[in-house]
Amino acid sequence: MAQDAITSVPQDAAVDSLAATTPAGDAPFSTFSDIFSLAFASSLGVVLLRILFIVLGAFLVGKLIDRVLRRWVRRYDDVPALDPRRQRALTLANLLGSTSRYVIWPLAVIMILSEMRIDVAALIATAGIAGLAVGFGAQTLVKDVISGVFLLFDNTIAIGDRVRIGTDYGTVEHIGVRLIKVRKFDGELMMVPAGELRVFGNTSIDFSRAIVEIGVAYKEDIAQVSEILEQVARGWMADNADVLKEEDPNVLAIMGFADSAILARVAVTVVPGEQFRAEREMRVALKKAFDDAGIEIPFPQRTVHVTNVAD
């Protein structure tokens, strides 16, 4: 017992002596809390720097992908707007750009959570269970995405196509995984979910027909009318041979009997997109040809019989 007291005195004296000889300002850390605070701040700074690099890297990768896709699409600037190669390039570029954003930023978020020492595996498992539950409540969204993917792989629609959706006609401007944007002639932009695009018409595949229907008076010679229809159609085709899909016009002299006219029709098969110009120009040419030949294009007439009624 006495020996312990004797040996403890020099130890206490040594500690007091060391404290007295070490200036307070020269001590690198006065307490363990100071050491912990400095280490924590340094570690936090490293984590924040890594998160900044992850966000910057995701942003730069997205910009790089967009730039590569723009350069790829620019190769088709001299190709006609309705050329299948250009339409396919625009559609794929749009799809890849959208998909890359859906992939890059979720990966960046997962990397950021990992840097923050959050258990990503458990989080993903939890998100999977939650996603399953949300999926049952968002069946329409899932249906739109799946339908959009199948539409793209089936190659039934592309950017630049002129389509009919219900009673509306328009040109496809954007195709995404979920949403399709169609611009109508009056400028209205229709937003069509891919899941709702079940039945639609596409006038930009393979060929189109320019169809001109005209009425002539019952008194006119049908053989002469048919001859003029064919002459006008062949004249237009000779001037526009580069847009033709068939060499001969389809002349239908009698399509029906209306109240005041016999309906005649002529059709020319052209490349998609040229049918509207062909119809306009042939209508003008037919009007002039009928006027020169004295063939009457009638307007509705009605005969009224008036009888005298005795007072």
What is the identity of the amino acid at 196? E
Average pLDDT, the chain: 78
Q: What is the pTM of this model?
A: 0.55
* Residues 153-202, CATH architecture: Roll (2.30)
Residue 244 tokens, joined: 């033709």
Question: Per-domain residue ranges for the chain?
Answer: 36-137, 153-202, 208-293
Tell me which residue of 62, 46, 129 sits closest to 96, measured CA to CA. 62
Mean pLDDT over 303-308 rounds to: 76
Tens-digit pLDDT profile for residues 206-253:
888 999 999 998 888 999 999 999 999 999 999 999 889 888 888 887
CATH number of 36-137: 1.10.287.1260
pLDDT of 287 > 90? The answer is yes
Q: Does domain 208-293 have CATH number 3.30.70.100?
A: yes
Tell me which residue of 112, 76, 113 sits closest to 91, measured CA to CA. 76
> Buried (b) or exposed (e) across 147-164, using 16+ Cβ within 10 A?
bbeebbeeeebbbbbbbe
Sheet with 208-216, edge to edge strand ranges: 208-216, 262-270, 250-257
Which residues make Cβ contacts (< 8 Å) with residue 276, sequence separation at least 6?
A: 210
Tens-digit pLDDT profile for residues 61-91:
988 988 888 888 888 777 766 666 776 777 7
pLDDT at position 34 is 52
pLDDT of 100 > 60? The answer is yes
pLDDT at position 19 is 44
Tens-digit pLDDT profile for residues 7-56:
444 444 444 444 444 444 444 444 545 545 666 666 777 778 888 898 89
